[in-house]
Structure 1
C-alpha cells in the first residue's frame, strides 16, 4: 500500500457498512487508530472485528452533540485527531422531482450530507492544528457536479460539501491541514442496492450510464479515500476526485 497512516488517529463516519467499513478495514490493516461512527449500531460489530486500535460510537452526524462526541472520543481514547473521513450520507426517502421533495426530507439530506461534515470538521480542525496538521476526506457524489433527475436536492446538499471542502482547503493550508473531496458514482453500497431492490429496472439504467459498464465496489472507493488520508497526498489539497467509471467524462 502506497502512503502511510501508521500511528495516525482517524475518525470515520458512516463506518457500519459499504465504503466506510471498507476504509476502516484498510486503514486498520495499515496501522491507524480508529474511531468508527454510524447511526447504525452495526458499527460496534466492525470495531469488534478489528479489535485493538478501534473504538465505535453510535450517533447521527446531523446532530451537533453527536458529531462533537465522535471527535471527543478520538481525543479521549487515542489522544487527538489526524484524519477525518466524512463518509456518512443520505439520499432521501422520496426520490421524486424537486417539487415532490418534502421539506422534512430536504432538511434531513442537508443535515446529514452538509451540516454533519461541517460539524465534524469544526470539531476536528482545532485538534489537527494542535498536532501539526491533518487530512480531511469528504465524500460527496457525482450528483454534486452533474445534474440527475430525482437527485436534485441530494445533489445540492453534496455540492455544498464540495464548496466547503475547497474553502476549508484554502483556509487551513498554512496549518498543514489538507481537505479534499471524492465524488463517487454508483457503487455496490447498501444504500444504492436498497434503492435498486425497490426498483429492479433501475439497475440496468444506472449501469448504462457508466462507460465502464459496471457498478463500482466499496473497496475501490476505499483506495481513493486512503490515498487522500495518507502521506502519499501530502501536497494535494482542495481537489475534487470523481471515482465513477467515466460517468462524468
Structure 2
C-alpha cells in the first residue's frame, strides 16, 4: 500500500496528538495531502509531515460547532482541491462518575464533541465527496461503543451512538460511491488512557492484565487499521465497526 493515496486528500480530526497524529502521519507517508484538524494548536504533526516531504495544513476547529466544521471542510478543499478521505477521530472522555452523579454540563459536552461532532463532520464531508462520487470515512468509536464501562456513562453512550451514525450513513450512501465505517480501539497508549487511569500503576497493571495480548495498543496500530478502511483494499466493506483491541471484547 506504499504511496497508495498519491494525489488524494484526507482530513484527520483530533490530529494533534495520539491516534490522530499517527493516522495523519501515515496518510502522508502513503502519499495523501492531509488537513490536520484539532481545537488545540500544535505544530508537531504538520511539521513532522512536511519535514518528511509531505503536504499538510493545520486547521483549528471545534467539531461541535457547525460553522467551524463547515469552514474546516471548505479550507481543506480550497487548499488541496478535493476531499477523498476523512478520519473523524476527535473525541473527549469527560469526567468520570457513576450515572447518577454525572453532571448535565459534562454529559452535554461529551455528546457534543463525540456524537454531534461526528455527525457535523460527516454532514460536510459527505456533501463534498458526493461531488466527485467517491470517498471513504472512518469514524472513531471505541470498545466502549460495544460494551459497558462503569464510571464513564456519557463516553460509553457517545461511542455507541457513533456506531449507529456510521451504520446509518453507510446504508444511505452505499450506492453513491461512499463507504462509511467505524473503528473501535481498545486500551491504546495515549494521553487519554493516562488521564483515565490517572497514571496509577496499580490501575494500569490491572488493565494490562485484562488484555489478552498482555499489553496496551500503540497509536500506529490504530492508524494502520483506519488507513485500511479508507483504502480500496477494503472496497466491499461499509457499515462495519472494526475492533482493534488486543482481544478485550472477545473474552
Tell whether the 8 Å contact from 1:3 to 1:227 is kept in structure 2 after alignment. Answer: no
Tell whether the 8 Å contact from 1:4 to 1:231 is kept in structure 2 after alignment. Answer: no
Q: CA deviation at 1:227?
A: 0.2
Q: Look up the match of 1:56.
A: 58
Q: Look up the match of 1:91.
A: 93
Q: Look up the match of 1:6.
A: 6
Runs of at least 4 residues of structure 1 off by over 6 A?
none
Q: Look up the match of 2:134.
A: 133
Q: CA deviation at 1:3?
A: 8.4
Tell whether the 8 Å contact from 2:3 to 2:31 is kept in structure 1 after alignment. Answer: no
Tell whether the 8 Å contact from 1:3 to 1:232 is kept in structure 2 after alignment. Answer: no
Q: CA deviation at 1:198?
A: 4.5
Runs of 5+ consecutive residues of structure 1 not aligned to the other structure:
none
Greater Cα shift, 102-111 or 58-67: 58-67
User: Does the C-alpha gap of structure 1 residues 78 and 2 become closer, same or farther in structure 2, counting only changes over 3 Å?
Assistant: closer
Q: Look up the match of 2:27.
A: 27
1:169-196 Cα offsets, whole Å, 9 max, x none, are 0100111100000111110011112333
Q: Report the TM-score, using the length of structure 1 for normalisation.
A: 0.95
Q: CA deviation at 1:115?
A: 0.4
Q: CA deviation at 1:65?
A: 1.4
Tell whether the 8 Å contact from 1:143 to 1:154 is kept in structure 2 after alignment. Answer: yes
Runs of 5+ consecutive residues of structure 2 not aligned to the other structure:
none
Q: CA deviation at 1:197?
A: 3.5
Q: CA deviation at 1:2?
A: 6.6
Q: Provide the C-alpha distance between the structure 1 equivalents of 2:239 and 2:7, rounded to a whole number of angstroms.
A: 24
Q: Provide the C-alpha distance between the structure 1 equivalents of 2:2 and 2:55, rounded to a whole number of angstroms.
A: 21
- 1:99-248 superposed matches below 5 A: 99-248=100-249
User: Does the C-alpha gap of structure 1 residues 247 and 179 become closer, same or farther in structure 2, counting only changes over 3 Å?
Assistant: same
Tell whether the 8 Å contact from 1:113 to 1:158 is kept in structure 2 after alignment. Answer: yes
Q: RMSD of the TM alignment (CA)?
A: 1.3
State how many pairs are aligned: 247
Q: CA deviation at 1:64?
A: 1.5
Tell whether the 8 Å contact from 1:2 to 1:232 is kept in structure 2 after alignment. Answer: no
Q: Provide the C-alpha distance between the structure 2 equivalents of 1:141 and 1:192, rounded to a whole number of angstroms.
A: 12
User: Does the C-alpha gap of structure 1 residues 3 and 225 become closer, same or farther in structure 2, counting only changes over 3 Å?
Assistant: farther
1:37 has 2:37 as partner: yes
